[in-house]
Amino acid sequence: MTTDLSAQDAPFTRHVLDTAGRLFAAHGPEAVSLDAVAARAGVDPADMRRAFPSKLALVHRLVLDRVRALVEHGPAAEASAPPVEQMRQLIRRHIEFNCRYRTELELCRVLLPTLRTMSPVRYRELSRLLRAYQDRIHRILERGRTDGVFSPGGGSREPVTAATVLSTLESSLNWYEPDARMTPEQLGDVYEDLVLHHLLGVARD
């Protein structure tokens, strides 16, 4: 999202970020320069460098934009739904994002330790978003346990944590290829089954 930008700057920044995301996905982030992004986006390199003085600034903004979209989408509409439905919607949306923004989410993994050392302010900004998302998952889990619909799978006595759910969803980045025969919808089926039925012990219909 680009809500913190002025109305005049937002379209320029969104266009640059979308262009950078496509180039990074096609060629790998290491192989793409700021000038290459400016050329593909059709913008003045000087304007590009005013908006993004370094490649780190561009990558951070791209990752922040994608993570914010994932975190801020949907919670208001989900709040009144039963916990199983809330979790189902979250799983589906997360897997859809993993497929659509795979490169950016992989970059997030790499970027966090770099930011922690080189740019603590940017690190805290991104970390707050990720923590808010994990907190949302925790609230869904707590409500599901209170309602008696979530229970540990596999005979475990330990409750499933938000971190476990999140790492399970992110595991799709380790093996799923966009050109695989499995569609994103089918991948969502796999992870819905894995999280709801195997991890959380929700009974199948």
In a domain, 115, yes or no: yes
The pLDDT value given to residue 6: 43
* Torsion, CA 105, CA 63, CA 183, CA 26, rounded to 10: -100
pTM: predicted TM-score of the whole model, two decimal places: 0.85
In a domain, 128, yes or no: yes
Q: What is the 3-state secondary structure (H, E, C) of 27-60?
A: HCHHHCCHHHHHHHHCCCHHHHHHHCCCHHHHHH
In a domain, 1, yes or no: no
Domain count for the chain, please give it: 1
In a domain, 18, yes or no: no
Confidence of residue 136 (pLDDT cuts 50, 70, 90): very high
The pLDDT value given to residue 77: 52
Which CATH number does the domain housing residue 191 bear? 1.10.357.10
**Which structural domain range is residue 142 located in?**
77-199
pLDDT in tens, 46-61: 999 999 999 999 999 9
In a domain, 65, yes or no: no
From the list 26, 51, 48, the residue with the least C-alpha distance to 39 is 48
pLDDT in tens, 7-47: 447 899 999 999 999 999 999 999 999 999 999 999 999 99
Confidence of residue 3 (pLDDT cuts 50, 70, 90): very low
In a domain, 164, yes or no: yes
Q: Supply 92's token pair.
A: 């589906």
In a domain, 14, yes or no: no
